[in-house]
Chain A
């Protein structure tokens, strides 16, 4: 019989991440065999396979992409024939100069603070998991949940760009073009979202189970 308030994996029990059905895994599963949830047919895994390595790869890729995302211009605003390329920070500065500081704050948080925070938190989680740290697991779980939820708001800059490109089409008078920075920035957002998706938060608790 199973013991309550113990790690489920140690007892050969797995809870489906999607429909929460509790299933007892068969004892002899072959290497490449995969067990599916009887209710929602999702792949049943006690821990996401190679979660640590996959997440590390995605976070590293995101970190590298973050450099061109901030150096290269995110958009090119042509006004009266002269173009001014704008990086993310330059865009924020412009908003500040125009005394639109609530807007500047939103853009700064969504496109600078959030991606950095996401990358730092994911690195921190990867390191503490590898070290089998027992430091504040509840706090780390909460941190991960926030990271997972907040990342999508970084897309706001890409959407603003899309709207400006569609609206400002006055030829030489005024037009907006997307820079390579936008592409790199979009890659950062997508990569960190995938990284949060492949990270298995149950790993945080494995150090507590022994």
Chain B
């Protein structure tokens, strides 16, 4: 009886955008479902989502640490050099007495990206290794909520804009970390297109209901 009900529940969906109750078919990898009324994507299933995402998260973590270890950009003028990286740009804002800006930059370029990488590692490992614990759901939900506040790709654009702006003022030298930072953005973008969150949620539903 209970299994019957659960089976029905799994196929009953409410569109998150327009609140329409609908029945959805079981998805195969590579397929997606759109809402019958507002055409928003309701669910996507990707190939080997979990394994690929796990590999990409590990790569991302390594690249994130590399990006923070060495300078991203160096400016050289009259024999004096100044370099910057992610953390330095928020600390320097503190130096010129702009704590609000410093916190904003720190949260969007360090805290949220780090939390999301470690959080995803924990969630994917828990699902992959079948460690049942009550934290997977809430953590994955927080990751989804804070996603828009991770702005590493915007920062990459800012590096390029700043580099071009400074080019006629002094010599701009791209740092070693710039390459790993560039790779990190590619990895994060790929991660966004390999992860199917519903796979994690289906797993959680099976474990909890």
**Chain A interface (Cβ within 8 Å of chain B)?**
2-9, 11, 13-15, 17-22, 38-42, 46, 95, 98, 100, 103, 106-107, 110, 137-138, 141, 145, 148-149, 151-153, 155-170, 173-174, 177-178, 182-183, 186, 190, 193, 197, 201-202, 204-205
Contacts and interface: CB of A to CB of B under 8 A. Distances in A.
A162 B93 contact: yes
Given A39-B208, A110-B157, 10 more contacts: A15-B13, A20-B14, A20-B42, A22-B12, A161-B101, A166-B91, A167-B166, A168-B75, A170-B80, A170-B82
Contacts of B37: 5, 205
A183 B20 contact: no
Nearest to A140: B38
B20 A205 contact: yes
A166 B102 CA distance: 12
A14 B162 contact: no
Interface of B: 9, 12-23, 36-40, 42-43, 73, 75, 77-78, 80, 82-84, 88-93, 95-96, 98, 100-101, 104-105, 108-109, 137-138, 140-141, 144-145, 148-149, 151, 154-155, 157-159, 161-162, 164-166, 168-169, 198, 201, 204-205, 208-209
A3 B145 CA distance: 30
16 contacts: A8-B21, A15-B21, A19-B140, A39-B209, A41-B141, A141-B38, A145-B17, A155-B154, A159-B158, A160-B158, A166-B88, A173-B77, A173-B78, A193-B148, A202-B17, A205-B17
Contact of B100 (A3, A186, A204, A205): A186
Nearest to A94: B165
B96 A165 contact: yes
A159 B82 contact: no
Given A40-B204, A100-B164, A205-B38, A6 B138 contact: no
Contact of B21 (A3, A173, A178): A3
B119 to A, nearest CB: 14
Given A107-B161, A162-B92, A20 B198 contact: yes
Contact of A22 (B14, B93, B155, B164): B14
A11 B18 CA distance: 14
B31 to A, nearest CB: 16
A147 to B, nearest CB: 12
State the 8 A-B residue pairs at the shortest beta-carbon distance, nearest first.
A15-B14, A159-B158, A166-B84, A166-B92, A40-B137, A162-B89, A205-B18, A163-B162
